[in-house]
């Protein structure tokens, strides 16, 4: 038997240098063209040593998935690693559909209970969509009656009040139930966005320009697309496309999206988390900060203080935290979320009058979590042997 103990010992004692994400990405795309094939006898020992090295590198590259935990990589390195592995895309043949099931929020509000306290609640929604390669399909939206709460404090207040029926949960509210409809190009009424990415460029510079344009502004809900910077637009749109469902996506585009995200300053790696449906992944986030500023509000002819036509309103500083969770095994974005701070935004009821009182408007977080995705044989099936 070949004795490699001395060679392995020398390799280990010489120091194991973990590869950076950039090195991994570069080597993954290198070819063997122009290199001579070494003799089989001479290549055996280096291959075994390389196998040991690879196993050790894996322990360094993905320490957070070990039972004992470990240091996490910077966001850019994490995203470049995802880019190097983003090869899996669902391929739709004739008669096949991409089935996606998402969980998100439906109607929300602040309800004043008989005890005098206010709770902030929402109804959970399950969005099911079936889309074929041409962008046609159907959707089913199920709004569940059981109230959900944005904080444990809200839930405890509701329980203490005797779990009363909340207005949105009432059958007479018209909010609860099942809604179905058709999906067609240019006329997509499904609440879950279906992105047609067929024409998106795959070079990072051109892709970034596309993401900072008006492209996909109608597909992404207005409550989510609250960006005040171009970097924020890149994060929100790239993460949403990587979450899908998408028509026309390719491995090259998925790699390019992760590469663009890797070069956005301010993106941080929050480490391993569980999303809202309990699935583990790696969370990355970006905070879009809005400094305190003044805004002019039109008041009409001679209505404002001193008979002015407008009034200057002070707007307090705020921020929006945008995050996305990636399943590292499939390099799939399994959740996107937007969370404003503060959630209770101060505002004047009528700024055109000097005596206008200050009230607070609740600005809730918004998330979309992937529950399942599969390539199916019809627009009613939810399971397939080709699950992606």
CB atoms within 10 A of CB 341: 15
User: Between vectors from CA 72 to CA 70 and to CA 73, what angle results, nearest 5°?
Assistant: 140
Which pLDDT score is estimated for 188?
59
Which pLDDT score is estimated for 187?
66
Which pLDDT score is estimated for 240?
94
| Tokens (6 digits) for 166 | 């909340």
Q: Is the pLDDT of residue 306 over 60?
A: no
Q: What is the DSSP letter of 78?
A: H
Q: What is the DSSP letter of 308?
A: -
Query: How confident is the model over 5-37, as pLDDT tens digits?
Result: 444 444 334 444 444 444 444 444 444 444 433
Which pLDDT score is estimated for 217?
83
Going from N- to C-terminal start, the domains of the chain cover: 5-61, 97-387
Q: How many CA atoms lie within 13 A of 203 on its CB side?
A: 3
- What predicted TM-score, i.e. pTM, was given to this entire model? 0.74
Q: Give the Cα separation of 166 and 172 in Å (integer).
A: 11
Backbone angles phi, psi at 23, to 5 degrees: -65, -40
Query: How confident is the model over 36-70, as pLDDT tens digits?
Result: 334 433 433 444 444 444 444 433 444 444 333 44
What is the torsional sign of CA 25, 26, 29, 30? negative
Which pLDDT score is estimated for 127?
93
Compare 21 and 165 and report the one with higher pLDDT. 165
Please report where in the chains the tokens 């070494």 appear, as a residue: 38
């Amino acid at each position: 038997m070949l004795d490699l103990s001395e060679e392995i010992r020398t390799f280990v004692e010489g120091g194991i240098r973990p590869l950076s994400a950039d090195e991994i990405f570069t080597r993954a795309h290198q070819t063997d063209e122009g290199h001579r094939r070494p003799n089989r006898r001479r290549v055996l020992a280096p291959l075994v040593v390389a196998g040991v090295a690879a196993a050790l590198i894996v322990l360094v590259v993905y320490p957070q998935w070990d039972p004992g935990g470990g240091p996490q990589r910077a966001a850019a390195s994490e995203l470049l690693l995802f880019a190097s592995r983003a090869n899996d895309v669902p391929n739709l043949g004739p008669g096949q559909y991409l089935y996606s099931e998402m969980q998100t929020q439906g109607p929300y509000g602040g309800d004043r209970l008989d005890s005098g306290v206010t709770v902030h609640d929402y109804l959970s929604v399950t969005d099911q969509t079936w889309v074929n390669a041409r962008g046609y399909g159907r959707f089913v939206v199920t709004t569940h009656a059981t109230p959900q709460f944005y904080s444990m404090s809200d839930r405890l207040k509701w329980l203490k009040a005797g779990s009363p029926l909340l207005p949105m949960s009432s059958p007479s509210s018209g909010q609860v139930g099942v809604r179905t409809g058709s999906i067609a190009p240019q006329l997509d009424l499904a609440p879950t966005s279906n992105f047609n990415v067929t024409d998106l460029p795959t070079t990072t510079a051109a892709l970034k320009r596309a993401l900072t344009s008006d492209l996909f502004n109608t597909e992404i809900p207005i409550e989510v697309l609250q960006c005040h910077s171009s970097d924020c637009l890149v994060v929100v749109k790239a993460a949403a496309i990587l979450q899908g469902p998408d028509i026309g996506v390719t491995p090259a585009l998925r790699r390019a999206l992760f590469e663009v995200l890797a070069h956005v300053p301010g993106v941080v790696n929050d480490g391993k988390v569980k999303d809202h449906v309990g699935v583990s992944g790696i969370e990355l986030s970006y905070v879009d900060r809005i400094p305190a500023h003044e805004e002019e509000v039109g008041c009409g002819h001679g209505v404002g203080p001193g008979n002015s036509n407008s009034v200057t309103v002070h707007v307090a500083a705020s921020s929006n935290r945008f995050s996305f969770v990636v399943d590292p095994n499939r390099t799939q974005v399994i959740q996107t979320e937007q969370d404003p701070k503060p959630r209770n935004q101060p505002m004047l009821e009528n700024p055109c009058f000097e005596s206008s009182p200050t009230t607070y408007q609740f600005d809730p977080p918004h998330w979309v979590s992937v529950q399942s995705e599969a390539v199916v044989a019809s627009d009613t099936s939810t399971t397939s042997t080709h699950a992606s």
